[in-house]
Amino acid sequence: MLATLSIALIALDQTSKLQSVEDLAGRLFVPVQTTLTNRTNPLFDFWSTLTEINQLRDDNSRLRQQVADLQLQNTQLSRAEAENETMRAQLKYAQASPQFTLLPSTVVGKDLHGLNDYIEIDRGSFDGLQPQMTVVSPDGYLVGRILNLTEHRARVLIITNPSSSVAAMIQDQSGLAEDVVDGKIHGRLVMNNIPQSAKVAMHQDVYTSGLGGNFPKGIKIGQVATLRTSDVQLFQQAEIAPYVDFSRLSAVEVITNNVPSH
Per-residue pLDDT, 262: 57
Using a cut of 0.85, tell me whether the model's pTM lies above it. no
Residue 246 has pLDDT above 80, yes or no: yes
Q: Are residues 79 and 149 in the same domain?
A: no
- Which is nearest to 164 in space by CA: 129, 116, 200? 116
- Residue that terminates a domain, selected from 78, 96, 114: 96
Per-residue pLDDT, 18: 47
Q: Are residues 110 and 214 in the same domain?
A: yes
- Residue that terminates a domain, selected from 71, 96, 121: 96
Domain assignment of residue 250, given as a range: 101-262
User: Percent of the chain beyond pLDDT 70?
Assistant: 76
Q: Are residues 241 and 118 in the same domain?
A: yes
* Burial of 3 from C-beta contacts in 10 A (0-12 / 13-18 / 19+): exposed
Q: Are residues 82 and 112 in the same domain?
A: no
Q: Are residues 84 and 62 in the same domain?
A: yes
Per-residue pLDDT, 162: 93
* Burial of 121 from C-beta contacts in 10 A (0-12 / 13-18 / 19+): buried
Residue 6 has pLDDT above 70, yes or no: no
Per-residue pLDDT, 42: 64
pLDDT tens readout for residues 224-240: 999 998 777 889 999 99
Q: Are residues 47 and 113 in the same domain?
A: no
More confident residue, 159 or 33: 159
Q: Are residues 123 and 247 in the same domain?
A: yes
Q: Are residues 38 and 119 in the same domain?
A: no
* Burial of 184 from C-beta contacts in 10 A (0-12 / 13-18 / 19+): middle
Domain total in the chain? 2
Q: Are residues 92 and 105 in the same domain?
A: no
Q: Interior CA angle at 10 toward 7 and 16, to 5°? A: 145
Confidence of residue 38 (pLDDT cuts 50, 70, 90): low
Residue 127 has pLDDT above 70, yes or no: yes
Q: Are residues 115 and 211 in the same domain?
A: yes
Q: Are residues 174 and 253 in the same domain?
A: yes
More confident residue, 250 or 42: 250
- Residue that terminates a domain, selected from 42, 73, 96: 96
Q: Are residues 79 and 208 in the same domain?
A: no
Give residues with Cβ within 8 angstroms of 162, minimum separation 6.
Answer: 115, 182, 183, 184, 185
SS3 label, residue 239: strand
Q: For residue 167, give the CATH number of its domain.
A: 2.40.10.350
* Burial of 69 from C-beta contacts in 10 A (0-12 / 13-18 / 19+): exposed
